[in-house]
Amino acid sequence: MEKKSRILIVEDEAAIRDGLIDLFTFHGYEVESAADGNSALGLALSGRFDMILLDVMLPGIDGYTLCNKIREQDRDQPIIMLTAKGSDEEIIHGLSLGADDYVAKPFSVTQLVLRVKAVLRRAHIGEEASHQITLDHDFTIDTRNLSGQRNGEALNFTRREIEILQYLHANRERPVARDELLHKVWGYAKNLDLETRTVDIHIAKLRRKLEPQPAEPQYLITVRGAGYRLLAQQG
């Protein structure tokens, strides 16, 4: 029998929390929940969950702090944050802390399930992907260890950031469109009508790590009307 994926739902509104529990139980997941950040912390750091659905506004420890604490211990843990509709500040802050994606309230339950399934698939680039990315002679990224070295400075990356870099590196001879990244890296279906800024925000976050001057990128560039391109050395 195939092992069920385990989801932790952290949501303080009882009606939403109960609805999400019923929804994902119906779709075949094992579900646990927490109603506040304090009770969620131990569960979230236990390593027992394949996915964490994390509300931003929580009593006790808020969703931002919880996300940050998870990322300090586990850069691989899939996290989707639930944000207030139209709150760009929440979205940007949540993704900057390492969430894989966000879903704005009120949300379509169908789209939420599809996005959870997509993030769980993780859309790994494959064994043929390069284990080392060299941007120049003193800037390398070790994709297996989610780390890098730039002029002797240590850098840390999340799994999602590394997956983006690996895909861009494998296709470095051309620009890669946002929709292609959503399909190949996030695993979203090509026909999924999705309004999301997650690609742009992840790119901006990567530039803050990669670029000496993020506003004038020299490694991770935008090709107007075509997408993003990683300027890396061969190999």
DSSP string, 66-114: HHHHHHHH-SS--EEEEEETT-HHHHHHHHHTT-SEEEEES--HHHHHH
93: pLDDT strictly greater than 90: no
Sequence spans of domains, the chain: 6-121, 132-230
Question: Can you list the alpha helix ranges (DSSP code H) found in 139-233?
Answer: 159-170, 178-184, 198-210
- List, in sequence order, every residue forming a beta bridge with 16; answer none if it has no partner: none
1: pLDDT strictly greater than 60: no
Banded pLDDT at 193 (limits 50, 70, 90): low
Q: Report how far residue 109's alpha carbon sits from residue 35's, in angstroms, rounded to the nearest whole number.
A: 20
- List, in sequence order, every residue forming a beta bridge with 32; answer none if it has no partner: 8
Q: Report how far residue 86's alpha carbon sits from residue 158's, in angstroms, rounded to the nearest whole number.
A: 25
Banded pLDDT at 94 (limits 50, 70, 90): confident
Banded pLDDT at 85 (limits 50, 70, 90): low
DSSP β-ladder status, 6-10 and 51-55: parallel
146: pLDDT strictly greater than 70: yes
Task: Name the 3-class secondary structure at 139.
Answer: strand
Question: Which amino acid, residue 135?
Answer: L
- List, in sequence order, every residue forming a beta bridge with 228; answer none if it has no partner: 176, 222
Which residue do the tokens 């695993």 mark? 187
What phi, psi does 72 have (nearest 5°)? -65, -30
pLDDT digits (tens, 9 = 90+) for 172-189: 999 999 999 988 888 887
Query: Shortest CA distance to 35 belongs to which of 21, 51, 49?
Result: 21
125: pLDDT strictly greater than 50: no
pLDDT digits (tens, 9 = 90+) for 14-47: 999 999 999 999 999 999 999 999 999 999 999 8
Cis preceding linkage at 175, omega within 30: no
pLDDT digits (tens, 9 = 90+) for 40-70: 999 999 989 999 999 999 999 999 999 999 9
**Residues 6+ positions from 1 with CB-CB distance below 8 Å:** none
- Note whether 79 and 67 are within 8 A (CB): yes
State which CATH number among 3.30.70.100, 3.40.50.2300, 3.30.450.20, 3.40.190.10 fits the domain covering 6-121: 3.40.50.2300
State which CATH number among 1.10.10.10, 3.40.630.10, 1.10.10.60, 1.20.1630.10 fits the domain covering 132-230: 1.10.10.10
- List, in sequence order, every residue forming a beta bridge with 33; answer none if it has no partner: 9
